[in-house]
Amino acid sequence: MKPERRFHDPERTRALAKRLGQLVQQREQGFTVMEVCGTHTHSIAAAGLRRILPAGVRLVSGPGCPVCVTPIDYMDRAVALARRPETIVCTFGDLIRVPSSESSLERERAAGADVRIVYSARDSLAVARDNPHSDIVFLGVGFETTMPTIAAAVDEAEREGIENLRVLSGAKLIEPPLRALLEDGEVKVDAFLLPGHVSVILGSKFYRFLSDEYGVPSAIAGFAPVDVMLGLCELGDQLLGGTCEVANLYPRVVSSDGNPAALALLERYFSACDTRWRGLGEIPVSGLGFRPEFEHRDAAQLEVEVCAAIEAKGCCCGEVLKGMIEPPECALFDKGCTPETPVGACMVSAEGTCAAWYRHERLVLECGS
Amino acid sequence: MCLAIPMRITERREFDGTTELNGMRRNVALMLTPEAKEGDYVLIHAGYAITIIDEEEAERTLALIEEYTGVATALSEDGAAAEEPTR
Amino acid sequence: MREHDRILLGHGSGGRLTGELVREVFLPALQNPYLAELSDSAILPELGAGRPALTTDAFVVDPLLFPGGDLGYLSVCGTVNDLAVAGAVPQSLTWALILEEGLETETLRTITAGAARAAREAGVPIVAGDTKVVPKGKGDGAFAVTAGLGIVPPGREVSDGALRPGDRLVVSGPLGDHGATVMACRHDMAGDALRSDAAPLAGLIAAVFEAGLRPRTMHDPTRGGVATTVFEMAARAGVQIELDEAELPIRPAVSAVCDLLGLDPLYLACEGRVILAVAPEEEAALHALLADHPQGAGAATIGRVIESESRGVPVRLRTRVGGLRPLDLLSGMDLPRIC
C-alpha cells in the first residue's frame, strides 16, 4: 500500500526533523515530550530517531508498555494456572519470559506445563475447541487496543457455547496513569505524544481532559518515522504558539469518536476496576474486570494457590516509567538487570524503556579487542 | 501495545475474512469492523481488524507535511525520492 | 513386502523392520556405491592435497515439510554450506535420523527424497546413515543429525581474523525467506510468494574462488539470521561492522510476515544464502559474478567493516532515516508479539 511507505520516507523524516529544530531553537528551555506506548518506544528506537532529533527536544517514555506494567502478582497467578492440572495457558509472546516471583511461563513450559504462544486471542478459542476436556486460560494483557480483541474472542465463545475458555484480565486503561503522572508534582512533561492505535479505539475526543483540565498539549501520532516527527512538530508548534489542543495527526485511522463496535464489546463484558501497576503501585479504576454476569469467563475465579509476591529491591522502574530518570541512571541498569536477567518491569519486555535503551541506545564496547 | 499493520480484505464473511498484504494471506477476524467490505484496507492488530484505513486522510496528512516542511518530495515506484523545494 | 504407513518402534531396532526401511526407503532414494555396501563405516578414497574439514549439525524444523523444502533437503544443504563457507570443497556426508513412532512413512519418503535431491544438486554423496525410533510423544516427528567432510585446497585461507576496515559485506540474496516461510506456516499465513531459500551453495562458492576472488571470510546466516551471524563475526574478529538498513534485500512477502507477527527479518534464518566479506577492490567483480549466477539473484552489499571506535559496538545499523542503533544478539527467541 503505497501511502504507508511514504510515512517511512527518509526525506520527509529529515525535513520534519529540520523543521523541529527551527521550532525548538525558539524556546530556550527546549521541550520534553512523553510518549506512552510501548510500540512508540520500540519504533523510535528501531528507527534510531533519537539520533536525528534536534538538541533541546527530550523524548521520554512513560508507562505505555502493557507487559512492563503487568504486576508481579498477575504473573504469579499465571504461573499457578500453568501448574494447574488439565489447564492450557495461552499467551501473547510478549509474556513468555516475564519473571514472576519465583519462575516464568517459559520455565513452567520447560518443566512440563502446557503453555502456548498465540498471535491472537482468537487462536485460544481454537485451542479451546480442540481440547474440550481442558480449561483454556488466555492471558489478557493490553491497553485499549488489545482489550476489544479479547472481548470479541469472549463474545465468540459465548455465541458458540465454547465453555472452557477463560481470560485472566490484565487490562490497563490509558487515562488513569496520564492523570497520575500529571498530578505527580515531580513529573515534568511539556506535552504528550499519544498512542495511535489505542486512539483508534478511543477516538481523539477522549483526550480532551489533557487540554481542558491540565493545560497540556498533545498529539495523536502513528508509528512510522514520518508520523512520529510530524507529531513532535505539531507539539513544538503548540508549545510555541501557546495553544493547547489534542491534535490528531493520524486521521487515516483515528476518528474523533473511536470504534463504536469495539467500545460496545468492552462495555458488555468488562467494567473498570482498581488495579496495580508494576512500578507505579495501585491506581484506582485503571483496569478492566469481567462484569459479574460473565464470571464464568474470568480465570481469576479458578482456585489456585498463588505464592506471595516478591518485589525486586533496588529497582527504579517507578521513576523510569514516569520519565523522571533515564535507564542508565538506575544503579541496576546493566549491572545485574539485563534483558537476559531482568530485575524490574522496564527490562522484562523487549519494548520496555530499559530494554529498548539497552538494545538500541547504548554504545558500549562488548567485544574484547 | 499497538503493533498493527494494514492489509486488504479479499474475501468477507460474516465474522471474519481473508486479508492480503504483499502476497501473504491470512484469515482475520472482522467483528470490530462490521462495516468493512471487500477491497477495503483495514488495520490489523492481534488477528483482528480494528478500523478501516482512510486513503483520502492519508493523502491529506501527506499534504500537511508538505506544508510544514516547504519541501515537495516526489516518490518514484521503487521508493527513491527526488527533492525539490517549493519555495 | 508389507509397507507400513507409519513408522513403528521396530523400525529402529536394527532387525528385520530396519532392514526393510533401509532397502525400501533409504537406498532407492540415496543411491550411491558407499551406501549400498551397508557396512559399519564407509571407506572413502584418499582425500588428496589440502586440509580436511569436518562439520556436524543437528536439524529441527516445524513443520517438517514447507514450501521450498523439507527436513531432508534442509539438513543436507546446511551441512554442505557449513563446509563451503569455511572454504572447503565438500566430499561426503553422513545423515542420521531420529524418528518418532507414528511418523507417516510418506513423510519420511518426502524427507529422504529431499535429502537425496540436495545431495545430487550439491554433487556430494551421503555415504553413511543411521535410524533410531523413539516412542510417540518423545520426538516431534523427526530430527536429523549430519556430519560433513570436505577438503580445503592448499593455499586457501578463509577466516574472520582477516577482516579489515573497509571490507565490504555482500549477501548473495534476499534475507529471511526460510525463517519467514516457516513462521508463516506455523501461524496460518499462506502465500505463493513465500518459499524457503534453502539451497546448496558449494557451486556458487566454488565459482567465487575460480574467478580469482579471495573472500576474507564467509558465513551462512542460519539460526539467528544476519544480525547474529554478523555480530559473531565481528566479535570473533575484534572489528566493528556497520550495516545499512536501506541496502538490506528483503522481499515484500517476508516484510509482511514480519510486520504482522512483530518479527525482525534481521534475525530470521536463511538456509541458502552466504555472506561474503571482500576487500573493496573485489566488490564489483563479486557482484558481476553473483548477477550471473542463479543463486546470486538479489545480491546486495549490506555493510562494511568500519574503523573501530573506542566506545563502539560490534555491529551497528544505520537506519533508513539516518539514525544509528546497535544490533545485539537475540535474548531468547524472536517471538510474535502485540507490543
Tens of pLDDT, residue by residue over A336-364, are 898 888 887 788 777 788 887 887 665 54
B25 → closest Cβ in C189, C252, C338: C189
The chain A residue lying nearest C312, using CA atoms, is: A365
Number of structural domains in chain C: 2
- Residue ranges of the domains in chain B? 5-52, 55-85
Considering only CA atoms, give the Rg of chain C. Answer: 21
Rounded distance, CA A77 to CA A118, Å? 19
B3 → closest Cβ in C184, C194, C339: C339
The chain A residue lying nearest B51, using CA atoms, is: A253
CATH of the domain at C110: 3.30.1330.10
C316 occurs within a structural domain: yes
Cα distances (angstroms) measured from residue A171 to each of A256, A271, A324: 23, 11, 25
C255 → closest Cβ in B3, B7, B22: B22
C256 → closest Cβ in B1, B2, B21: B21
CATH of the domain at C258: 3.90.650.10
pLDDT at residue A3, rounded to an integer? 64
Closest CA of chain B from A363, distance in Å: 27
β-sheet bridge partners, residue A117: A91
Q: Domain check: are C140 and C176 in the same one? A: no
Q: Domain check: are C185 and C248 in the same one? A: yes
Give the phi and the psi of residue C199 in degrees, each rounded to 5: -165, 150
Closest CA of chain B from C66, distance in Å: 15
Give chain B's mean pLDDT: 83
pLDDT at residue A97, rounded to an integer? 84
Residue C130: name the closest of C33, C30, C3 by CA.
C30
Rounded distance, CA A26 to CA A17, Å? 15
Rounded distance, CA C194 to CA C174, Å? 12
C51 occurs within a structural domain: yes
By residue range, what is the domain housing residue C43? Answer: 9-152
Rounded distance, CA A169 to CA A140, Å? 5
A367 → closest Cβ in C310, C314, C318: C314
Q: Domain check: are C64 and C142 in the same one? A: yes
Q: Do A93 and C335 touch (CB under 8 A)?
A: yes
CATH T-level assignment (fold) for domain B5-52: SH3 type barrels. (2.30.30)
Entry pTM? 0.89
pLDDT at residue A362, rounded to an integer? 59
CA angle C170, C159, C127 (to 5 degrees): 95
Q: Domain check: are C123 and C186 in the same one? A: no
C87 occurs within a structural domain: yes
Q: From chain B, pick out residues whose CB is under 8 angstroms from the CB of C245.
A: none
Is residue C211 within 8 angstroms of chain A, CB to CB? no
Q: What is the mean pLDDT of residues C67-71?
A: 97
pLDDT at residue A368, rounded to an integer? 27
Is residue B65 within 8 angstroms of chain C, CB to CB? no
Q: Answer whether residue C269 shows pLDDT above 60.
A: yes
Amino acid identity of residue C119, one-letter, is A
Closest CA of chain A from C181, distance in Å: 16
Is residue A367 within 8 angstroms of chain C, CB to CB? yes
Percent of chain C with pLDDT over 70: 97
Give the phi and the psi of residue C31 in degrees, each rounded to 5: -50, 120
Is residue A49 within 8 angstroms of chain C, CB to CB? yes
Give chain C's mean pLDDT: 93
Element (H, E) at A158: helix A147-160
Q: From chain B, pick out residues whose CB is under 8 angstroms from the CB of A201.
A: 50
Residues 6+ apart with CB under 8 A from C271: C69, C74, C77, C78, C81, C178, C196, C197, C198, C199, C220, C222
pLDDT at residue C69, rounded to an integer? 97
Q: Domain check: are C173 and C90 in the same one? A: no
Please report the number of interchain residue pairs, chain B to chain C, with beta-carbon separation below 8 angstroms: 49
Exposure string of A125-157, with b = 16+ CB inside 10 Å and e = fewer, is bebbeeeeebbbbbbbbbbbbbbbbbbbbbbbb
Q: Domain check: are C165 and C304 in the same one? A: yes
Ordered by where they begin, the domains of chain A are 2-64+185-248 (3.40.50.11750), 72-171+259-301 (3.40.50.11740), 317-361 (no CATH)
The chain C residue lying nearest A364, using CA atoms, is: C311
Chains touching A (3+ CB pairs < 8 Å): B, C
| Of C33-37, C196-200, C232-236, the least confident | C33-37
Q: Domain ends where: C152, C183, C217?
A: C152
A117 → closest Cβ in C238, C324, C336: C336
Rounded distance, CA C335 to CA A211, Å? 39
Q: Domain check: are C184 and C297 in the same one? A: yes
Rounded distance, CA C148 to CA C89, Å? 10
* Residue A42 near residue A62, CB atoms below 8 Å: no
C2 occurs within a structural domain: no
Q: Domain ends where: C152, C173, C201?
A: C152
Q: Answer whether residue C336 shows pLDDT above 80.
A: no
Chains touching C (3+ CB pairs < 8 Å): A, B
Q: From chain A, pick out residues whose CB is under 8 angstroms from the CB of B1.
A: 37-39, 64-66, 142-143, 145-146, 195, 197-198
The chain B residue lying nearest A222, using CA atoms, is: B2
Q: What is the mean pLDDT of residues A77-94?
A: 96
Q: Domain check: are C252 and C110 in the same one? A: no
Amino acid identity of residue B24, one-letter, is M
| Of C4-13, C151-160, C167-176, C293-302, the least confident | C4-13
Residue of C256 and A346 predicted with greater confidence: C256
Q: Do B58 and A148 touch (CB under 8 A)?
A: no
Interface of C with B (CB under 8 A): 184, 187-194, 251-253, 255-257, 259-260, 262, 337-339
pLDDT at residue B77, rounded to an integer? 35
What pLDDT band is residue A324 in, cutting at 50, 70 and 90? confident
Residue B20: name the closest of B35, B10, B30 by CA.
B10
Q: Answer whether residue B75 shows pLDDT above 50.
A: no
C332 occurs within a structural domain: no
The three-class DSSP label of residue A166 is: strand
Q: Do C332 and A97 touch (CB under 8 A)?
A: yes
- Give ipTM to 2 decimals: 0.91
Is residue A119 within 8 angstroms of chain C, CB to CB? yes
Element (H, E) at A246: strand A246-248
The chain B residue lying nearest C258, using CA atoms, is: B5
Q: Domain check: are C285 and C190 in the same one? A: yes
Q: From chain B, pick out residues whose CB is under 8 angstroms from the CB of A267.
A: none
Amino acid identity of residue B22, one-letter, is N
Q: Domain check: are C137 and C169 in the same one? A: no
Q: Do A49 and C323 touch (CB under 8 A)?
A: yes
Among C189, C328, C338, which would you mutate to test the A interface (most chain A Cβ atoms within 10 Å of its Cβ)?
C338
Q: Do A350 and C337 touch (CB under 8 A)?
A: yes
| Of A286-290, A305-309, C269-273, the least confident | A305-309
Q: Domain ends where: C117, C152, C187?
A: C152
C253 → closest Cβ in B24, B27, B44: B24
Amino acid identity of residue C127, one-letter, is V
Closest CA of chain A from B42, distance in Å: 9
A367 → closest Cβ in C238, C317, C321: C238
Q: Domain check: are C127 and C175 in the same one? A: no
Q: Domain check: are C279 and C220 in the same one? A: yes
Percent of chain B with pLDDT over 70: 79
